[in-house]
Amino acid sequence: MREYKQLLLANKAWAAELLEEKTDFFQRQTLGQKPDFLWIGCSDSRVTPEQMTMTPPGGMFLHRNIGNLVHDDDLNLLSVVQYAVDVLGVRHVILCGHHGCGGVRATLEGGTAGPLDQWLGNARDVLHRHREEIDAQPDQEAKINRLVEVNVMEQLRHLARLDTVQKAFAAGRELWLHGWVYDIRDGHIKTLLEIDASTDLDSLERPDKVLI
């Protein structure tokens, strides 16, 4: 059987299973969404936010890109954040990196070209700011994973400075930004840092190592 047909069969089985559990499941889905969470993560096919957090459909608004990066000129991400915070009213924004990230590896090792190389310019800036610590790691895997961690910190700080987030903080909205990493080796999500309206963004300390 062709692989794409298997996806269609799996979809039918999934829909049937949900209807067995709750006959009005899809009817309720048409009424709209009210998630508490916005997830900004990597496009890596091994990192499945809803599955690894057991979040049901409608519980999480999603945005994914290579390296879980926050670009000032990325209208896709900026509009997702604006819609999630201003329209959906999410209270938690999670930015999640992961062990052995291919985008982070490419940032460290080079060899990219074209749009991907341009996209990773943001991550190369992070590498430049933390080069001394990255170079001090004992081996290549440790260097990649430490860059994954400090990249989450830098991207979360960047996220916190977006106009949408700053306006929400200024208005006294309940909003927390969370920096996490997912360890593919054991399936566990590990927390790095949290930002709220009271956080001094200029004084953020580097997170402890969790990808050990």
First-last CA distance in the chain: 41
Annotated active-site residue 129? The verdict is no
Instruction: Return the closest-CA partner of residue 141 out of 174, 196, 84, 101.
Output: 101
Tokens 């990808």: give the residue: 211
Q: Quick check: 119 and 96 in contact, CB under 8 A? A: no
Annotated active-site residue 98? The verdict is yes
Catalytic residue among 63, 98, 157, 158: 98
Annotated active-site residue 24? The verdict is no
Annotated active-site residue 42? The verdict is yes
Catalytic residue among 63, 99, 101, 105: 101
Tokens 């749009």: give the residue: 115
Annotated active-site residue 96? The verdict is no
Q: Which two tokens stand for residue 141?
A: 């895997």
Catalytic residue among 42, 99, 105, 130: 42
Catalytic residue among 44, 63, 105, 178: 44
Catalytic residue among 28, 36, 46, 72: 46
- Specify the amino acid at residue 143: K
Task: Just list the catalytic residues.
Answer: 42, 44, 46, 98, 101
